[in-house]
Amino acid sequence: MAGGPLEGVRIVDLTSVVVGPLATQIMADHGADVIKVEAPSGDIVRTLAGKGRNPHMSGKFLHLNRNKRSLVLDLKIPAAHDALLKLLSTADVMVWNMRPPAMKRLKLTYEDVCKVNPKIITCGMYGFGQGGRYKNKPAYDSIIQGSGGIAALYQMGTGEPRYLPMVVADRTVGLIAVQMILMALYHREKTGHGQAIELPMFENIVKATLEEHMYLRTFVPHGDEKAGAMGDPRLIDPQSRPLPTKDGHICISANTNAQAFAVFDAIGQPELKTDPRLSTVAARFKNTADYFSIRAEGLKQKTTAEWMEIFDRTDVPAMPFQTLEQIMEDPHLKDVGFFETIEHPTEGKIINMKLPNKLSRGARKDFRAAPKIGQQSVEILREAGLADADIAALVASGATLDGGKIS
């Protein structure tokens, strides 16, 4: 028994790379039976994410695909397509991240799948909404970051557009997918009805970006007014970054009067508490550049450790800047047991990250390491009701892969 709030929910996962695998990983971590359907070549992130200890088992793949089972099906072969439909007849959810025309060609649209399972929930994640001119364009995370405004925020702050060096669009939309799927499951629990979920990445990232940065363009001009400025000044200011100290960098955010005044005392300029440019939240917002510049200059006076002692004592939100290597040694993460070393059946000892969030009634109990390509193909096809002879025929034709033997 898997345990967890989603125990008993079966998810057929046709996704690859990050956006879909993240969504299904979260649900798998909480008890769902996630069946990862892969082409014989496997999810591209098995190799796209760089070196691993063994071929097709990159570190990113291991982190995004734990607690799942892998089924290989070459959906261009009719017998494999039939096997998938049989599996889908037993499923609660089907998740996919191909472009909609590809799903239509594969005869796996919501209407197609409903013929074998009227109560199924399908969730499609793709680049652009289907009502607009971009609907058939391919998209990866960088495409959405650049077209959806994230790269423009770097340009506003630093003068040069660039991508955030992590797949933030994929991860944002993957989290939204979990929310949407759980709402659809709840709706089905109340009504008995399945449904199709559409999740365009572009529109979701534009929404997230402009919620932060539409700013004065929120207000429609009237009369002779000009359109207002865009971009939250606090977030695009060049000093909105880890700030240099005497021996390194520190991350600080002092927003309330109590926090800002404590900073003014700490940098030896208590008179700033009555400076009309800086004495209130509204004044500091209006004079963000001055406030941030004064703060940045003052923080050069002491070491990071000295500032942390002061800010911890005065309850100012601050943390030392950390490299990725330092995060792996972070003492708080050691306190909470965030990292654990586990034995992977094929990859040896790997470092796994525990669930950061806790449910008082628990999550999944039986941990499954990320699978080899097709590792559970035979067992899943048997569960779907295929006879051993039919499974053997699928293996012989190359429509599936018996990857169950660990070597």
Largest CA distance in the chain: 84
Residue 164 has pLDDT above 80, yes or no: yes
Model pLDDT for residues 27-72, shown as the tens digit of each residue: 999 999 999 999 999 999 999 988 999 999 999 999 999 999 999 9
Could you tell me the pTM of the whole model? 0.95
Question: Which of 136, 165, 133, 135 has its CA nearest to residue 150?
Answer: 165
* pLDDT score recorded for residue 1: 79
Arithmetic mean of pLDDT, 224-232: 93
3-state per-residue secondary structure call for 306-322: HHHHHHHHHCCCEEECC
- Residue 168 has phi, psi (to 5 degrees) of -70, -30
Model pLDDT for residues 80-139, shown as the tens digit of each residue: 999 999 999 999 999 999 999 999 999 999 999 999 999 999 999 999 999 999 999 999
Model pLDDT for residues 319-344, shown as the tens digit of each residue: 999 999 999 999 999 999 999 999 99
* pLDDT score recorded for residue 334: 98
Average pLDDT, the chain: 96
* pLDDT score recorded for residue 405: 56
Residue 292 has pLDDT above 90, yes or no: yes
The DSSP H or E segment spanning 298 is helix 288-298
Residue 287 has pLDDT above 90, yes or no: yes
* pLDDT score recorded for residue 244: 98
Model pLDDT for residues 398-407, shown as the tens digit of each residue: 999 998 754 3
* pLDDT score recorded for residue 49: 86
The SS3 of residue 244 is strand
* pLDDT score recorded for residue 406: 41
Residues 6+ apart with CB under 8 A from 159: none
Structural domains of the chain, ranges and CATH numbers in brackets: 10-207+338-397 (3.40.50.10540), 243-320 (3.30.1540.10)
The DSSP H or E segment spanning 209 is helix 201-213
Residue-wise over 318-344: b if at least 16 C-beta within 10 A, else e?
bbbeeeeeeeeeeeeeeeeebeeeeeb
